[in-house]
Structure 1
Amino acid sequence: MRKLTAIISVLIMFTAAANLARAERIKDIATIQGVRGNPLSGVGLVVGLAGTGDQSLPSQRMLTNVLRRSDLVFSPDDLPTGSIAMVMVTAELGPFDHVGKKIDVDVSAIGDADSLQGGVLLLTELKGADGQVYATAQGSIFLGGFAATGEAATATKNHPTVGRIPGGAYVERSEIATFIENIAGKQYVTLNLRNEDFTTANRMTTAINQLFPNQAHTVDASSVRVKIPPEYDREKVAFFVDSITQQEVKVDMPAIVVINERTGTIVVGEKVGISTVAISQGSLVVKVKESAMVSQPQANFSDNPGQTVAVPDTSIGVSESQGYLIPVNRVVTVSELAKALNAIGATPRDLIAIFNALKQAGALQAELKIM
């Protein structure tokens, strides 16, 4: 009960904070169309492992190919196992990453390696979806965990087969984002809302037009197109984009309740309300206890005295607390809704059942999403 009260209190505090400052910058609620990263990937080889590498043949064959580039010819059977690992190397090329810039890479084992701890990634080409090489990666791998193995015990923390190389790749070819649209001889910038909503999109249009009159219009629930004034040439476009994205907009939030039944997590939107209803809340408790009894047969006058065995014994107890039919008046804010549900002593699992029942009864004035 104390845990539920603490959760409700935090929920109320967030609601109070939202009521005090409900305006958000456009740059925090929208993205600029065309400004996006590009995923890169490549298959590489990690060396220097202390017996925790691959034991399979593909990694040995890959090493022979690497050595062949140095005019060294070996058979896969000539190379030891355990010190190398075949890995998948991934990275993201940013929208404004120029040639020569360093980017972070992730390294993941794709063979049967136990750990990449202490390993070094050999030079690996990272390609985009078009098959072109955009970066080259190399360096020592840093893990967020470890793996230690002895003869009779093993200790593992996090995932030792996945690591990261900060700044481990150099950009060899840039893919600079194009975010300016040319339509009928005029230039435009399109802003896409992270959470589509007509009300928020219209408010964003109004805020931009207050700064630059008649330059913005709402395309749909997720997009606002802004015309770049003629005085803002290519060298000043960045100042224009910065000016419009700094404007603050009051975000409209739909009435929604999100429930994750696996974890018992409930998120209630600000404008969720319930109609006047009466709720009966009771808790059913089932206790199952397993124990073992020793069976010792008594056969004093028999040639077969029997055998002593352990017999399982199960006891089940079922109890149900008294439920009350509690009227709940119509509420219109998260704070009032939280207080109403807290008053009936509902646990998170009870709340899930209550919200589902309210939806079925038509008393929940919100969309119910179950994950």
Structure 2
Amino acid sequence: MTQRSILIAFLALLVAGFGFAAPASAARIKDMGQFQGMRTNQLTGYGIVVGLAGTGDDSLDYATLGMKGAVSRFGLTLPPGVNPALKNAAAVMITADLPPFAKPGQRLDITVSAIGKAKSLRGGTLVLAPLYGADGQIYAMAQGNLVIGGLGVDAADGSKLTVNVPSSGRIANGATIERAVDTGFAYGDHLLFNLHQFDATNAKRVADAINRALGPGAATMVDGASISIRAGGGGDERMRLVSLVENLDVVRAEPPAKVIVNARTGTVVINGAVRVGTAAVTQGKLTVSIKESPTVVQPAPFSRGQTAIEPSSEIEATEDYRPAFLMKPTASLAELVDAINRMGVPPGDLVAILEALSQAGALTAELVII
């Protein structure tokens, strides 16, 4: 499939998805944001993985220090200047997400990644290691056998075979929570609901939906991204309120007009709110071809000449004729896609056309390059 046909098929899907005029869609409040305090917290830790089949860090300094710290917990002190060979051990970083309202004794999945020269963590066991929050406090303890989705093999002649990433793995339920995070959910006389994206219209519609369900004055807009909801009582009453609010339906406001361009892949996404003003667009293509036909020249018999190559070049320039297209005032997404399809431009040229329309003030949309 050519680049042009891929572009046309992709834009056709956009038209089918958006329609000629994007209809309003209802969404649950829980899909539009989240209550303040009901969030995950990131945990990190440093540890040692042992039991590797010669694929560890060898004698890397921080792996050696980590192993010395691990064995010192059991009263074993290595003599000064003695560093253990650590081909069967590796220094690793441990990461995990602590969900909201998690309680001591519950379990977490953890990700373990090598930070040194370890080639593979396959078959390794993580030694007991603490996991810290951003405040420097220990919130969980991690330990367990790793599950590795990758494979790395080295041969005697230096050839290698690597599948996926063998230096990183996971341990299901590999950490035990030791400390709960105080979310502040049960305090105060209000709950704060934060939208995922700032939009004053959506904030108003969320507040109106809550007031219709709970009564006038139950919800007020703090700003275009936050709604304050009157709440009282204990945890049971508040959670019932949260359950009621997050399942209310709200008709989303039409999003701002945007054209998203991925400069690395050439992908272009245009939402249904995009409009194009009056503009004439043409797109040309100049092709220059150079053909080299060198000729070998032989000297005369019994002469003192030498064989030489005589260059011969042929240069040809051609330019495709592309007619100009007139964009109608306030053209819709469907009309814009139809004009682009008639021009038959590849994705790279499409980006240039959209940028030129934006510079000319004819594109009613925010052009975002990622």
TM-score computed with the length of structure 2 as normaliser: 0.87
Closer/same/farther in 2, CA of residues 17 and 154 from structure 1, 3 Å limit: farther
Distance 1:17 1:29 in 2: 25
Distance 2:25 2:203 in 1: 15
How big is the shift at 1:303?
9.6
Of 24, 29, 40, the match for 2:27: 24
For the 8 Å contact 2:119–2:167, the answer to whether it is kept is yes
Stretch of structure 1 that moved more, 15-24 or 350-359: 15-24
Match of 2:110 in 1: 105
What percentage of residue pairs aligned between the two structures are identical? Answer: 37
Q: Secondary structure at the match of 2:11?
A: helix
What is the 5 A alignment of 1:288-303? Answer: none
| CA-to-aligned-CA distance 1:195-238 (integer Å, 9 cap, x gap) | 1111111111111111112211111111111112x6x6532211
How big is the shift at 1:20?
5.5
Match of 1:178 in 2: 184
For the 8 Å contact 1:32–1:179, the answer to whether it is kept is no
Match of 1:194 in 2: 196
For the 8 Å contact 2:20–2:332, the answer to whether it is kept is no
Match of 2:64 in 1: 60
| CA-to-aligned-CA distance 1:285-307 (integer Å, 9 cap, x gap) | 46689x9989898698699989x
* AA in 2 matched with 1:27: K
How big is the shift at 1:254?
0.6
For the 8 Å contact 1:116–1:160, the answer to whether it is kept is yes
Stretch of structure 1 that moved more, 322-331 or 208-217: 322-331
* AA in 1 matched with 2:51: G
Match of 1:326 in 2: 325
Match of 1:84 in 2: 89
How big is the shift at 1:337?
2.6
RMSD across aligned C-alpha pairs, in angstroms?
3.2
Match of 2:209 in 1: 207
TM-score computed with the length of structure 1 as normaliser: 0.87
| CA-to-aligned-CA distance 1:307-342 (integer Å, 9 cap, x gap) | x9x999999875432121111213454333322322
Query: In the alignment, does 2:227 pair up with 1:227?
Result: no
Distance 1:305 1:283 in 2: 45
Closer/same/farther in 2, CA of residues 148 and 333 from structure 1, 3 Å limit: farther
Q: Secondary structure at the match of 1:204?
A: helix
Gap runs ≥5 in structure 1: none
Closer/same/farther in 2, CA of residues 316 and 305 from structure 1, 3 Å limit: closer
Closer/same/farther in 2, CA of residues 312 and 90 from structure 1, 3 Å limit: farther
What is the 5 A alignment of 1:217-366? Answer: 217-228=220-231, 233-252=234-253, 253-285=255-287, 319-366=318-365
| CA-to-aligned-CA distance 1:156-191 (integer Å, 9 cap, x gap) | 223222222121101011114223552xxxx11111
For the 8 Å contact 1:180–1:189, the answer to whether it is kept is no
Gap runs ≥5 in structure 2: none
For the 8 Å contact 1:115–1:146, the answer to whether it is kept is yes
Distance 2:234 2:182 in 1: 18
What is the 5 A alignment of 1:111-130? Answer: 111-130=116-135
Closer/same/farther in 2, CA of residues 298 and 44 from structure 1, 3 Å limit: farther
Q: Secondary structure at the match of 2:282?
A: strand
Of 174, 189, 210, the match for 1:168: 174
For the 8 Å contact 2:199–2:225, the answer to whether it is kept is yes
* AA in 2 matched with 1:344: M
